[in-house]
Structures are given as structure tokens and as C-alpha cells.
Structure 1
Amino acid sequence: MPVAAQQRQADWDAMSDDILTTTQAARLLGVSVRTAQLLIEGGSLPSWKTPGGHRRVYRRDVEAIIAGNPATTERPSAILVVLAGGALREEIESAASSFPEFTIVFAANRSAALLAIGERKPAALILGGSDPALLAGFVATIADETDLAADHVILITKDGLPREMEVAGVKVVTSGREAVAAMRELLSDPPQVLEAANNLPYPVALNEQQRLVALERSGLIDSAPEETFDRIAWLAANNLEAPIALVTLLTPTRQFFKARIGLDMTDTPRSWAFCNYTIMQNHVFAVEDLSQDPRFEKNPAVACDGGFRFYAGAPIRDDMGFAVGSLCIIDLTARRLNQRQTETLAALAHLGGVELRLREAKRQLQDPKRQIGRSNPKREAGTPVPPPGR
């Protein structure tokens, strides 16, 4: 084995964790650190930043590039498709309410579940039923017709599956609560990441590092103001009669304002962000008087003279279900939103998510064109390419 290959193998063996630094990724790829940085900056190698500002990548994404197939690197997902009815669905809904980091899509039947898997690219499927043969048959269909891995399928059946019907990798549980617990374990960040998050002065999602990858991919951090997001903030401020309205994005260390009405600053430390709590919700999060809430009473934006008093925000989710940011309104006096105002804020935040999904759809349409350009240097250089037969 050549010396370079031996060194790469040694590096590989030494890195037992699933999370790599840019330097480690560069070594395993056999490229310079600068080349690895360019892969990250260009989106070929998904990444995120730690609270200390250090770039990190997942080993599986490096492996995909080494295998020569970076285009199929899986994007992280926070979407969970559920096919279950009646009391079992209610049990799953109740148990999942404790984990708002994940977006649940309920399917009415098997055809709808297959369609949801194809369209939404979920992280996992929970499948419930009383007929083991039907369950095993549907799992086989999923394996044949979708890209969802078997170890991301959770079956709920009270009596379990007969040995001859067991499917390798598929987890079998006996209740909706067990299924949700298995889902949590499957989709959460690695334990060492979760342990580090316990020391932060604000709550973070179970899939925070995956959320940060999604945020990086959006390309919105430190980007220039855009009419679409500015309009959403303006509509929130005017329809809800608030002096301040913001579209916020939460990085590991900062709260960046993609759009802002009534506020001059462009960002704050993340520890100041009320939106840390908003992105942990599936609904509008509101605090009538920040100065009376133990979570916020010492916040610099609240404790200062003329500080903020009222806050309400709704999460903005991307196409993979991650709450990359929020739409919020702030007032200098304590107040309360009525039902119509709450629904208005949620609807405007949803529009922000629609814009993110449109941007991602445009990106996906452009990627094949870029690939064609790279494979056809004449066309890239502007040289006309004659049609076939000439």
C-alpha cells in the first residue's frame, strides 16, 4: 500500500466519531484543506458551525464523495411520515408533541404514504397495523419503490412479526409511544453533540446540528435584504400593529435578521434570541410580558431602559421540515394576540417557508444544468454546438 494510502487509512481508523473537522475531511479525501473548504462553500460537502465557530461535517457525506457519488449525498430531513389510524394515530400525535423538532406528515392510506415518501424525502416512516402479512408486504414495497432505508422504518404491531416475516433493519415496537421514542433515537444528533448542548444558556433541538446544515444550505446567512422577506416582515408589522417585525435566522452563535422593520441592528448574539424558543415549536410562541418571564427578564434587550415587553413568533420551515428561522413581532408594551392575529402570524411564517421551498426547487433545477455545462466545455465557453447529423 502506498505511503499516502497508508496515512489515509490511519486517519480513517483514528477518527471513530461520525463528525469530522475540515482538516480531517481533507485528509480522508486526499485533498488540501483549501480544496475541502471550497467543497464546503460550494455546497458539495454539507457542513455546519459549532458554537465556537468551527466548521464540522458528517463522515457519511465525506464517504459519498470518496465513493464518487456526491450528487446523491443525503440531505438531512426532519420529516416523519406516519401511516396509522384511530387510537394509534392519536397516541402517536400525543407522544410526538414533546418533539416539535420533527414535522409529522400523516398519510391516509398506503398509496398516500408512498407518495409522501417520494415527494417529501422523510427521515423515517412509522407504520402501524394489525395484519403482520400486510405490514411486511408494504415494507417490501417501500424497499422496491423508494429510497427509504429499512433501518428508517418503524413498525407498530402489538403481537410483533413472525420470524419468517421479519425484515432486516426494520425496528418493530408494540405501541405508538415506543415508536416515537425509537424515532427520537434515530433522528437525533449524536450523543456527544447533545451533551455539549446541555451547557448552552438556551434550548436547542434534538437535531440542532442537522438544522444548522439545512441553514447553511439555504445560503441566507449574511445575505443582502430581499424584497420577498422584507414584504413578509412589513405585512407582519402592519397587520399586527407591531413597531418591530423580524425574519430571523439562528446560527450557532448569532441571530441574523434577514428582514427587519423598526430595528437598525442586523444581528445579535444568539443567547439574546427569543426565537430560540420559537424554533422549538410547531405553533406560534408568544410572551405577553417578557419582563415577567424568568426565561427573559434578564435578557439585555428586556432589562435595559425602554426594553422589549411583548414577543410573538412562528417558525419558518424549509422543504425538509427544519425550522431554520422564524418570523416574529415585538412590542415595547405588554399585550396579547387574539385568535385572528395568531393565525395571521402563522400564515405569514408559512409564506416564508414557501419561499424557502421555491428557492430549493430552483436550486435543484439549476444543478443538472451546471452538470451539463461542466461536461460540455464547448458550450460552457460559448461555442455553438452543432445539432446531431451535421
Structure 2
Amino acid sequence: MDSNPASKPSDDDPILTTSAAARLLGVATSTVQLWMESGAIESWKTPGGHRRTRLSRIARLMEPAAAPRTATVGQAVEAALSAVSPAEFRPQEAPSYPVADSEATRLVALAASGLVDSPPEARFDRIVRLASAVTGSPIALISLLTAQRQWFKARVGLAAQETPREWAFCSHAIMQDETFVVEDTSADARFRDNPLVQGDPHIRFYAGVPLRDKAGNALGTLCVIDREPRKLRATELQGLLDLAEIAMEELPEPPAS
């Protein structure tokens, strides 16, 4: 949110840079930039394009009431920001899917990217077509994960535009550093009762690579799916990894400080 930087005298409420705010909050500067750009932290831009905020706005986030007594400052900030985020980008209290400790930060970054519900783009469509071809998979997706749904920025071989987040294999994949592979869903207790396994598209094989922005937030995955159990050959896996790297280069840059 942009606001008038002269709303209070600076000696009463000092102006902070993104790096100064990050030091106070105990989080990365890039994380504060995302929070400012998304409006979660009230800020404004200088004529040079740098984000600034007031000490009072950061101090409010650091109040102990923002989170349980045992929470760190970073967790308290995430709890405070979740209250001002749209519901879809607000962490669920007791999700029925796995989440990392950084889920709140990840959701803020995803909201700031502007990718969810954006129109199709040829650069991403090409990537999923190539992923399908190089792995011999009938389905390939670029999947983005909000708190409520799995939305497909690009897809081939699948008619659906989205699924509930609870059904998303990609919820498991974004928590990995490497490719997440399920060679036979019918033999995996985590997935064999999943509606996407029991019904259309009848997933039996899944391989997903996390797609991380420049700040390291896993916004979603590049994944391939088959209706038969299988393994990826080394060349197929490398091709999928290479395409995921290309997809990550196409992700929007985090906001500049």
C-alpha cells in the first residue's frame, strides 16, 4: 500500500529502509520487500523506486500479542500478516495437507507474483509441452499452490484448470529440495485414496520439481503425470530438471528494495 511519507514528523516515527525493517523483524530483506509490495506492510516508494516504511508499522508487527508466547519474531510477523492477506493467501490453521514452516512467507510471495489466475502465456505453455515430450508423459503442468487450491498456470493433457489444495501431489513436492517422485500411487498410502487417483485423470505416476523464485520461495511445481506406474530414465529426469530451471527463470522478479 502506498501512503504519504510525511504523514508524521520523522523524528516521532522514523523512516526505515527494507533492510532496516528486515533486521528488526529477523527475516530476509527480500521477504520484507515482498510483504511491502503486496501491501501486507504499509509502505511507499521513493522517487528512486525504493520502498520505505515507518518504524511504528514494523513495531506493531512485533507486538507479543501477534502470536503465541513461544513464537519467534518471524513467526509473529507471519501471524500478523496473515490477518491482512486475502483468504486464499492466508495459511490455514489446521491444513489437511503438508506445509513447511515458511508457508506464510511462501503465500505472500505467491500473491505478490501476480501469477495466480493470470492469462495463459506462450513461454509457460511451451515448457509444459516440452516436459510432456521429453518424459513421454501424457500430462504436464505448471502448478501454483494457494492455501485453498492448486491452480495450473500452464497444462497439457488435462482439462481441469484447478483442483482443491487437499488433492495436490504438489503440496508434497514443494517441500523437497529435489524432484518428488511417486512411481505407483496405488502402492503409496499417502495417495492411493486421492480423488485424482481414484477418478479422472487416474494418476498412477507423478514427478514434480519445485519452482522457486529468486528469494527461494517455492511457488509451485513443474510436474509430469502418467496413468500407468513407471520410472523416469536418467535422461528424462535431467530434461525435466532443465525445463524447471527455465521455468524458474521466467518467474517474476521479487520487488526491488
1:168-213 per-residue CA deviation (whole Å, 9 max, x = no partner) reads xxxxxxxxxxxxxxxx96765768699x756211111211111111
1:216-258 per-residue CA deviation (whole Å, 9 max, x = no partner) reads 1111110111011001101100000000000000011011100
1:301 pairs with 196, 201, 212, which one? 196
Distance of 1:260 and 1:189 partners within structure 2: 37
Q: Which residue identity does 1:72 align to in structure 2?
A: R
Q: Name the CA shift for 1:305/1:266 in 2 (closer, same or farther; >3 Å).
A: closer
In the superposition, the TM-score normalised over structure 1's length comes to: 0.45
Q: Does 1:200 align with 2:109?
A: no
Show structure 1 runs of 4+ deviating over 3 A: 184-194
Distance of 1:303 and 1:231 partners within structure 2: 29
Assess if the C-alpha contact under 8 Å between 1:278 and 1:314 holds in 2: yes
Q: Does 1:316 align with 2:211?
A: yes
1:151-182 per-residue CA deviation (whole Å, 9 max, x = no partner) reads xxxxxxxxxxxxxxxxxxxxxxxxxxxxxxxx
Match of 2:129 in 1: 234
Deviation at 1:291, TM superposition (A): 1.7
**Greater relative contact order (CA < 8 Å, ≥ 6 in sequence):** 2
Q: Name the CA shift for 1:241/1:200 in 2 (closer, same or farther; >3 Å).
A: same
Q: Which residue identity does 1:304 align to in structure 2?
A: G
Distance of 1:212 and 1:191 partners within structure 2: 10
SS in 2 for 1:268: strand
2:112 pairs with 217, 238, 258, which one? 217
Q: Which residue identity does 1:46 align to in structure 2?
A: S
Q: Name the CA shift for 1:73/1:279 in 2 (closer, same or farther; >3 Å).
A: farther
Match of 1:106 in 2: none
Q: Does 1:360 align with 2:253?
A: yes
Deviation at 1:304, TM superposition (A): 2.3
Match of 1:266 in 2: 161
Alignment gaps of 5+ in structure 2: 1-34, 54-70, 83-90
Distance of 1:205 and 1:263 partners within structure 2: 28
Match of 1:177 in 2: none
1:9-88 alignment runs, 5 A limit: 45-46=37-38, 57=40, 61-62=41-42, 64-65=43-44, 71-72=50-51
Deviation at 1:306, TM superposition (A): 6.3
Q: May I ask how many residue pairs the two structures share in their alignment? A: 197
Distance of 1:321 and 1:306 partners within structure 2: 31
Alignment gaps of 5+ in structure 1: 1-42, 48-56, 75-183, 368-390
In the superposition, the TM-score normalised over structure 2's length comes to: 0.67
* Identity, % of aligned positions: 43
Q: Which residue identity does 2:143 align to in structure 1?
A: T
Q: Which residue identity does 2:150 align to in structure 1?
A: Q
Distance of 1:352 and 1:310 partners within structure 2: 22
Distance of 2:210 and 2:76 partners within structure 1: 20
SS in 1 for 2:95: coil
